[in-house]
């Protein structure tokens, strides 16, 4: 017993707007508040409840469903004000959710209990989980919740546990469960998160939770970027005095971290119940939560494998404050309970050619007369190594056998922290064979981006090289560890490594492997990541069928024949080599830095791999051109065997293409258009680009759709917003629009981003399944697609929306300019265009040390951008770009900088 404890007396529930005279409650309508007395197990108790029922009634709207929202500790129903507001904004006859959000007993503005003793696990005056569930029962009765219509629970923190446990007990009445950050299980052996441990220590608990407001303040400080002070004050309002904080301590004391805790059995009842839950479930998560960390999310997902999840990267514990959770919630509810006609079933167009399993080419070639030919070749400073088709097939089977024996199963996620090369190819195809899902987060995301990507994908296994595994251990990445090279027992133990690819490859192909079925087409095969140049990298899921469709398309578009051999300067395509039946040559380069690929390295790769194709990114191509002087006559001859050069990842300057053509005199140069969500959508050759440029259209011409790809457009309005209704490209020539695409080889979905995925595929135009690319551009009357940039980079001038490309493409042709970026400054709808230049080598374009361009430079830029008025021209040493391609300009960052410089 804490000797300095002073008893807390009981107190009556109050209406917040009556109780508070000084503190405003921004966003909370007094009309939602009521006091409700319910018959709880230990007598009548009065609760403060937010309820939109009366408002709806006053509007003459009959609710079509009820949301019961339960807050956690140490918040109160104020947490749900956004949900209430949003529900009322959306309410209309025939579709209206009544939201009921009580303050839990001893919390918010509900009755305060008397506490003669300080909070502890055994202290009788504090509410326990079981009583809180009974309280909710009593409240539901008192409020006459309509169980004939859809009833949905919503929770957060402790409210997540309580609402889920309550739903499990009333599964016949509850139609869906939704929750924000929470946890329904804590392995009793494991330590509680350090952030909570401090507050829970028996000697500290009363002081940190009741006697002081430390726990309260710490929790409120978890909001992204800090809470608005008025909002923070509103959260604190019921807890400013020690006398109001008994419930906070009671909740912390009720955390059943230990097996013998009184609430443990109730929690276990709930967590076990979730496994049998068959109704819809939605999880909305803020991963930057020091308490409810991702492992609790994955425990929930494990129990609710069919739950929809939206994980707001960058948001934290107070995700309801950090992000618009209502938009996610109500869109989801509408999908499940909406009265509207169900969305028509949409499908992708047929694939461009016959879809083969990703192993079929490999198996076929390994058995053919080509079996001795090289399937994969890698070069580095020490020389070259290759595997024949037969060897590759054998290694894949042996490794798959070993991985299977180790426990990798169909559906397991395997993060591959391995440099592109022969080993990665073997590992990838072994995983695919088992039906495991390859998580391909590349170092091109940067360490921070990579960490975020791996955490979001939450792999069951990590296969990595030593540096990758060291980082994984240091940063606490999830997953069981397998190293590529065999490690010493001590190193392996330190890094938590269970096995090595090297050792597994020394084993044999097991007969067991024949009993592992080949994965089905709709089975996920891989998670790739977007480059993250426009917001956090998104995981993109591909199924075996969709990758198969991509393989068929590549074979068809680039007429790939047996004997073809490609130099992979661009990772995504390299991994598909075995699937398309081409041998893949990894040149000597730092793959994460495409600009390190030299002309000599390409020539060496061409010679060693008898390459017929070269796939590169624009940055790689630029460096190849820049280092062409190194080439000997012999090396130049090696390049003449290349008949196809393909540049992917970002647009390429025609001048650069001409220079590339000189190096590869026999090659046809293609610059396909695509994205991580659909790697190949349109295609154009160098000659066609030159032809298109005479048309004088804004942006970069990316050509015509490839086989099996359908395009649609969503025209932009004056504020740069894309239309909700799609149109056909041939009906809208020249209209700046968001580009929307449909194809068999598009993504299967975004990973753990339910709402993003839902938004990207919201269209049902022509009965097809579409993907909103986020790219903007237009089609010309000849059916060619011109890209002008990204949707979030649209400049909304008074004359209408403008894509950055409309300005940059002509400006980039100025000889004194290396590259340029156009950004908007000022309010949407009346923005001014600012062009930021990166000077060509040796050019001095600015006025002294100022970023302002010299007047004659500005004049030339304005002349070049004749169609779009340019307000100001600035100069920087180098434009910021993404790490992966070194070619996607970070215009959002530039726009912020330009706004500061032009308006200090």
Partner 1 sequence: MSPQRRRAQYQDQITPGARVLVTGASGLLGRSVAARLAELGYQVTTLQRSPSGLSTVRDVRGSLTEAEPVETAVAGQDAVVHMAAKVSVSGRREEFEQVNIGGTERLLDAAWGAGVNHVLHVSSPSVAHSGSSLVGAGAGPADPVHAEGYYAQTKAEAELIAEARAEVGMKVLIMRPHLVWGPGDGQLTTRIIDRAKSGRLPLLGTGAPLVDTLYIDNAVEAFAAGLRHLPRIAELPAEQRRLVVTNGEPRPIGELLMGIAAAGGAKPPKLRVPPRLAKGAGAVVEKLWAVTGPHEDEPPMTRFLAEQLSTAHWFDQRHTRDVLGWTPQVSIDEGLLKLARHIRRTGRVLS
Where does this chain bind partner 1 (CB under 8 A)?
798, 825-827, 829-832, 847-848, 850-852, 855, 858-859, 862, 869, 871-874, 899, 901-904
- Closest separation in Å from C-beta 878 to partner 1: 18
Q: What is the per-residue DSSP string for 630-666?
A: G--HHHHHHHTT--EEEE-SS---HHHHHHHHHHSTT
Q: Which is nearer to partner 1, 229 or 827 (CB)?
A: 827
Residue 547 DSSP SS3: helix
Strands 832-839 and 413-417: unpaired
Instruction: Decide: 872 and 902 in contact? Cβ < 8 Å.
Output: yes
Q: Which is nearer to partner 1, 27 or 829 (CB)?
A: 829
The encoded tokens of residue 578 equal: 């075995």
The encoded tokens of residue 636 equal: 């130049």
Q: Which is nearer to partner 1, 39 or 854 (CB)?
A: 854
- Closest separation in Å from C-beta 735 to partner 1: 21
Residue 18 DSSP SS3: helix
d(CA 135, CA 122): 19
Among candidate residues 78, 73, 110, the one with its CA nearest the CA of residue 213: 73
Q: What is the Cα Rg of the chain in Å?
A: 30
Instruction: Decide: 121 and 248 in contact? Cβ < 8 Å.
Output: no
The encoded tokens of residue 350 equal: 């047929």
Residue 416 DSSP SS3: strand
Strands 497-500 and 151-155: unpaired
Instruction: Decide: 667 and 647 in contact? Cβ < 8 Å.
Output: no
Q: Which is nearer to partner 1, 269 or 718 (CB)?
A: 718
Q: Which is nearer to partner 1, 448 or 859 (CB)?
A: 859
CA distances from 678 to 159, 532, 573, 613 (A): 40, 16, 12, 21
d(CA 389, CA 366): 5
Instruction: Decide: 160 and 282 in contact? Cβ < 8 Å.
Output: no
Among candidate residues 689, 885, 871, 881, the one with its CA nearest the CA of residue 798: 871
Q: Which is nearer to partner 1, 792 or 850 (CB)?
A: 850
The encoded tokens of residue 732 equal: 């809208």
d(CA 428, CA 366): 17
Task: Using the structure block, give the residue that is written with the tokens 């169900």.
Answer: 342
- Closest separation in Å from C-beta 851 to partner 1: 6
Q: Which is nearer to partner 1, 708 or 872 (CB)?
A: 872
Q: Which is nearer to partner 1, 306 or 799 (CB)?
A: 799
Q: Which is nearer to partner 1, 411 or 829 (CB)?
A: 829
| CA quadruple 814, 815, 816, 821: dihedral sign | positive
Q: Which is nearer to partner 1, 533 or 796 (CB)?
A: 796
Residue 838 DSSP SS3: strand
Q: What is the per-residue DSSP string for 67-126?
A: EEEE--TT--GGGGHHHHHHHHHH-BTTB-EEEEEEPPTTSTTSPBPPBSS---TT-TTS
- Closest separation in Å from C-beta 897 to partner 1: 11
Is omega for the bond preceding 723 within 30 degrees of 0, making it cis? no
- Closest separation in Å from C-beta 793 to partner 1: 18
739: number of CA atoms within 13 Å, CB side?
A: 29
- Closest separation in Å from C-beta 884 to partner 1: 31
Task: Using the structure block, give the residue that is written with the tokens 């300009």.
Answer: 889
Q: Which is nearer to partner 1, 598 or 858 (CB)?
A: 858
Instruction: Decide: 295 and 192 in contact? Cβ < 8 Å.
Output: no
Q: Which is nearer to partner 1, 35 or 847 (CB)?
A: 847
- Closest separation in Å from C-beta 898 to partner 1: 9
- Closest separation in Å from C-beta 702 to partner 1: 32
**What is the torsion angle, in degrees rounded to the nearest 10, for the CA atoms of residue 115, residue 119, residue 122 and residue 127?**
60
- Closest separation in Å from C-beta 648 to partner 1: 36
Instruction: Decide: 621 and 582 in contact? Cβ < 8 Å.
Output: no
- Closest separation in Å from C-beta 225 to partner 1: 23
Instruction: Decide: 389 and 425 in contact? Cβ < 8 Å.
Output: no
Those residues whose C-beta lies under 8 Å from the C-beta of residue 100, and which sit 6 or more positions away, are 49, 50, 51, 52, 53, 66, 67, 68, 69, 143, 145
d(CA 68, CA 160): 11
Among candidate residues 697, 768, 698, the one with its CA nearest the CA of residue 726: 768
Q: Which is nearer to partner 1, 201 or 867 (CB)?
A: 867
- Closest separation in Å from C-beta 848 to partner 1: 7
Q: Which is nearer to partner 1, 194 or 848 (CB)?
A: 848
Task: Using the structure block, give the residue that is written with the tokens 């032009």.
Answer: 902
The total of other beta-carbon atoms located within 10 Å of residue 301's CB is 18
- Closest separation in Å from C-beta 835 to partner 1: 11
- Closest separation in Å from C-beta 833 to partner 1: 10
Q: Which is nearer to partner 1, 516 or 847 (CB)?
A: 847
- Closest separation in Å from C-beta 869 to partner 1: 7
Q: Which is nearer to partner 1, 691 or 902 (CB)?
A: 902
Q: Which is nearer to partner 1, 492 or 899 (CB)?
A: 899
Among candidate residues 826, 829, 828, the one with its CA nearest the CA of residue 896: 826
- Closest separation in Å from C-beta 815 to partner 1: 21
Q: Which is nearer to partner 1, 463 or 861 (CB)?
A: 861
- 465 CA to centre of own chain: 25
- Closest separation in Å from C-beta 525 to partner 1: 48
- Closest separation in Å from C-beta 901 to partner 1: 5
- Closest separation in Å from C-beta 230 to partner 1: 24
**What is the torsion angle, in degrees rounded to the nearest 10, for the CA atoms of residue 161, residue 166, residue 169 and residue 170?**
-140
């Amino acid at each position: 017993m804490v000797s300095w404890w002073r008893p807390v007396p009981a107190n009556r529930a109050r209406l917040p707007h009556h109780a508070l005279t000084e503190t405003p409650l921004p966003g909370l309508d007094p009309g939602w508040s009521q006091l409700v007395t319910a018959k709880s197990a230990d007598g009548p108790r009065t609760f403060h409840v937010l309820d939109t029922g009366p408002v709806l009634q006053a509007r003459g709207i009959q609710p079509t469903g009820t949301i019961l929202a339960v807050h956690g500790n140490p918040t109160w129903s104020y947490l749900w004000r956004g949900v209430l507001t949003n529900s009322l904004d959306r309410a209309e006859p025939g579709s209206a959710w009544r939201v009921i959000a009580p303050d839990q007993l001893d919390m918010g503005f509900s009755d305060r209990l008397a506490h003669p003793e300080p909070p502890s696990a055994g202290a009788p005056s504090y509410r326990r989980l079981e009583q809180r569930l009974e309280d909710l029962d009593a409240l539901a009765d008192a409020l006459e919740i309509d169980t004939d219509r859809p009833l949905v629970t919503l929770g957060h923190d402790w409210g997540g546990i309580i609402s889920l446990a309550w739903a499990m007990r009333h599964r016949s009445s509850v139609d869906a469960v939704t929750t924000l950050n929470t946890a329904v299980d804590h392995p009793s052996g494991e330590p509680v998160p350090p952030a909570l441990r401090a507050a829970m220590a028996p000697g500290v608990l009363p002081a940190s939770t009741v006697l002081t407001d430390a726990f309260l303040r710490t929790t409120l400080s978890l909001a992204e970027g800090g809470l608005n002070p008025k909002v923070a004050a509103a959260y604190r309002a019921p807890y400013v005095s020690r006398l109001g904080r008994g419930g906070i301590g009671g909740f912390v004391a009720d955390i059943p971290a230990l097996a013998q805790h009184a609430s443990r059995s109730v929690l276990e009842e709930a967590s076990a119940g979730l496994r049998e839950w068959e109704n819809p479930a939605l999880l909305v998560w803020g991963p930057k939560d020091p308490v409810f960390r991702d492992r609790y999310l994955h425990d929930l997902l494990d129990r609710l494998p069919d739950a929809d999840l939206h994980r707001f990267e960058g948001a934290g514990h107070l995700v309801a404050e950090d992000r618009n959770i209502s938009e996610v919630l109500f869109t989801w509810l509408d999908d499940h309970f909406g009265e509207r006609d169900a969305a028509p079933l949409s499908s992708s167009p047929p694939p461009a050619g016959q879809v083969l399993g990703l192993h079929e080419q490999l198996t076929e070639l390994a058995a053919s007369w080509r079996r001795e030919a090289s399937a994969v070749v890698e070069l580095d400073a020490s020389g070259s190594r290759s595997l024949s088709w037969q060897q590759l097939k054998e290694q894949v089977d042996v490794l798959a056998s070993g991985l299977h024996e180790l426990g990798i199963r169909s559906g397991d996620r395997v993060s591959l922290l391995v440099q592109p090369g022969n080993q990665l190819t073997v590992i990838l195809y072994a995983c695919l064979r088992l039906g495991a899902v390859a998580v391909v987060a590349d170092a091109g995301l940067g360490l921070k981006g990579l960490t975020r990507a791996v955490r979001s994908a939450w792999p069951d296994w990590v296969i990595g090289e030593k540096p990758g595994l060291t980082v994984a251990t240091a940063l606490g990445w999830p997953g069981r560890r397998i190293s590529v090279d065999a490690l010493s027992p001590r190193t392996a133990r330190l890094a938590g490594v269970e096995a090595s690819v090297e050792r597994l490859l020394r084993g044999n192909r097991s007969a067991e492997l024949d009993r592992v079925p080949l994965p089905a087409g709709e089975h996920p095969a891989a998670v790739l990541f977007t480059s993250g140049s426009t917001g956090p990298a998104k995981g993109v899921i591909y199924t075996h069928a969709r990758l198969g469709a991509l393989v068929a398309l590549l074979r068809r578009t680039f007429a790939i024949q047996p004997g073809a051999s490609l130099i992979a300067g661009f990772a995504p395509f390299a991994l598909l080599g075995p699937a398309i039946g081409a041998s893949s040559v990894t040149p000597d380069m730092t793959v994460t830095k495409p600009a390190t690929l030299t002309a000599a390295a390409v020539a060496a790769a061409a010679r060693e791999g008898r390459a017929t194709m070269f796939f590169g990114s624009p940055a790689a191509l630029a460096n190849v051109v820049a280092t062409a002087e190194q080439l000997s006559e012999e090396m130049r001859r090696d390049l003449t065997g290349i008949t196809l050069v393909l540049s992917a990842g970002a647009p390429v300057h025609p001048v650069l293409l001409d220079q590339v053509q000189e190096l590869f005199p026999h090659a046809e140069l293609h610059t396909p258009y695509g994205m991580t969500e659909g790697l190949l959508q349109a295609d154009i050759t160098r000659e066609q680009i030159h032809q298109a440029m005479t048309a004088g259209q804004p942006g970069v011409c990316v050509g015509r759709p490839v086989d099996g790809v359908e395009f649609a457009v969503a025209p932009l309005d004056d504020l740069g917003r894309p239309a909700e209704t799609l149109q056909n490209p041939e009906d809208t020539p020249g209209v700046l629009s968001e580009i929307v695409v449909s194809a068999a080889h598009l993504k299967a979905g975004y990973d753990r981003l339910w709402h993003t995925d839902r938004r990207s595929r919201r269209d049902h135009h022509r009965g097809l399944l579409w993907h909103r690319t986020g790219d903007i551009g237009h089609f010309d009357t000849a059916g060619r697609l011109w890209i002008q940039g990204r949707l979030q980079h649209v400049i909304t001038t008074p004359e209408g929306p403008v894509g950055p490309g409309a300005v940059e493409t002509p400006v980039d042709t100025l000889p004194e300019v290396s590259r340029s970026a156009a950004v908007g400054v000022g309010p949407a709808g009346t923005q001014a265009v600012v062009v930021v230049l990166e000077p060509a080598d040796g050019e001095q374009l600015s006025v002294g040390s100022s970023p302002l361009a010299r007047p004659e430079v500005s004049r030339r830029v304005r002349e070049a951008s004749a169609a779009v008025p340019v307000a100001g021209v600035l100069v920087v040493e180098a434009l910021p770009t993404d790490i992966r391609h070194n070619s996607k300009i970070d215009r959002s960052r530039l726009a912020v900088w330009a706004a500061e410089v032009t308006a200090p």
